[in-house]
Amino acid sequence: MKLRELLSEVSIKGFKEALLLGLSEAEELGKDILGMTLSNGYGIIFYVDPFNDEIIYTFLYIKNEIKDENLKLCCLFNRGDNTYFIYQILNFNEFIKKYCDGLEVIYVEVIKDDLEDFLHSTMDR
């Protein structure tokens, strides 16, 4: 999905600014995974090509299990005593409409270290 396409369709407060900042930082660092935290605690992970402004995959990073036809369980990630469910978001626009109405972005970062390594190894499968 092209960046312009995504930005024109998402109305989460602060989304555009956060995504552009994250992509800029990813390009500078030579990284390809961004994380965005929403005001309800959901984490959205973007696997990107920052040099071509392309979103390759989107994932939901969350502490509880969700049953939804638009989410495909990808893997579980353990951090300390916490287990996180990571779902591939199959239709990002539908996901936004269903789960993100009225939310805002509170944090964006380039994913690194253990989670970055884990996600790369998972996507390689």
Cα–Cα distance measured from residue 83 to residue 94, given in angstroms and rounded to the nearest whole number: 26
Q: What is the pLDDT of residues 31-90, one digit of tens each?
A: 999 999 999 999 999 999 988 889 999 999 999 999 999 999 999 999 889 999 999 999
Contact 63, 85 (CB under 8 A): yes
Token pair of 68, please?
A: 């939804």
For the whole model, what pTM was predicted? 0.92
Instruction: Return the domain boundaries, the chain.
Output: 3-123
